[in-house]
Amino acid sequence: MYAWLWRKLPGTARTKVLTAAVMVAVVGVVLWYVVFPLLEPMVTLDEVSVRK
């Protein structure tokens, strides 16, 4: 998959690295601000209980 993406990106190696970094950043931002807030109500991470 990475080789396919590398071949499809335009430009020199430097441009490809920059484009790939921007793509990773965009995916991270979308996950952080869109996907995770939508999933938060379904996952109860703040209700922790320890039993003996």
Lookup: tokens for 3? 């080789």
Instruction: Please check the confidence at residue 45 and state whether its pLDDT lies above 80.
Output: no
d(CA 52, CA 43): 24
What is the reported pLDDT for 1? 75
Question: CB neighbours of 11 closer than 8 A, spacing ≥ 6?
Answer: 19
Contacts for 15 with CB less than 8 Å, ≥ 6 apart: 9
2 vs 21 pLDDT, higher one: 21
Tokens representing 43?
A: 């996952």
